[in-house]
Amino acid sequence: MIYIWFLFFVTSIYSTNGQAFYDPTSCRKDGDAPGTRYTCTNNTKISCPSFLIFRANPRFLTISAISALFGFPTDDLLRLNNIVSPLETLFVDREVFVPVRCSCSDGFFQTRFNYTITENTTVSEIACGVFGGLVKTITLLEENQHQEVVKISSNKTCPRRC
């Protein structure tokens, strides 16, 4: 009898464990793949707290720099990621948790942040080099009215699916 209860318990755990589809394609890929963005109706008025995982890269190796990139308070990022100094150099690919607020906008559950261009670059380099694939090139182009020309000091709106 214990075996039957154990079997029931184990199968109920696995049957309730959901898994979202994540887009495995390159950040430079043209076109959306299933999971590139999650759809919703604009009637959906709810928003919810969520987070994204940013991997430190050679351009953003401190909490101070990552905080500025996402517009999130430095002290909060330090606490959430158990880091003492905002100027501590992180190793490349270190995961940094960044809280975001997700809502339905333009038919997708997403959060948005702005990126100010600081050097000569391309939309693809912003998607892949700056954000490490958190944002796809095609998504940046669609969000910014297919403006492939990137001017220093200009802003790009960067939507991130939730």
Residue 4 in any domain: the answer is: no
One-letter amino acid for residue 123 of the chain: V
Q: Is residue 6 part of a domain?
A: no
User: Which of 38-47, 88-97, 109-118, 129-138 shows the lowest per-residue confidence on average (mean pLDDT)?
Assistant: 38-47
Does a structural domain hold residue 13? no
Which pLDDT score, from 0 to 100, does residue 77 have?
A: 97
- Say which range, 21-30, 44-53, 84-93, 123-132, has the weakest mean pLDDT: 21-30
Instruction: Report if residue 137 sits inside a domain.
Output: yes
**Better-scored residue on pLDDT, 128 or 42:** 128
Give the pLDDT confidence score for residue 9 in this predicted structure: 47
Q: Name the residue with higher pLDDT: 5 or 41.
A: 41
pLDDT digits (tens, 9 = 90+) for 71-111: 999 999 999 999 999 999 999 999 999 999 998 887 878 89
* Range name among 12-16, 66-70, 92-96 with the lowest pLDDT average: 12-16
Mean predicted confidence (pLDDT) in 60-64: 97
The number of folded domains in the chain is: 1
Closest CA to 51 of 94, 100, 95: 100
In a domain, 28, yes or no: yes
Residue 63 counted as domain residue: yes
Instruction: Indicate if the pLDDT at residue 32 is higher than 60.
Output: no
Determine the structural domain holding residue 100 and report its residue range: 20-161
Does residue 2 sit within a domain? Answer: no
**Do 161 and 37 meet the contact criterion of CB atoms below 8 Å apart?**
yes
Task: List alpha helices for the chain, DSSP H.
Answer: 2-15, 63-70, 74-80, 123-125, 137-143
In a domain, 103, yes or no: yes
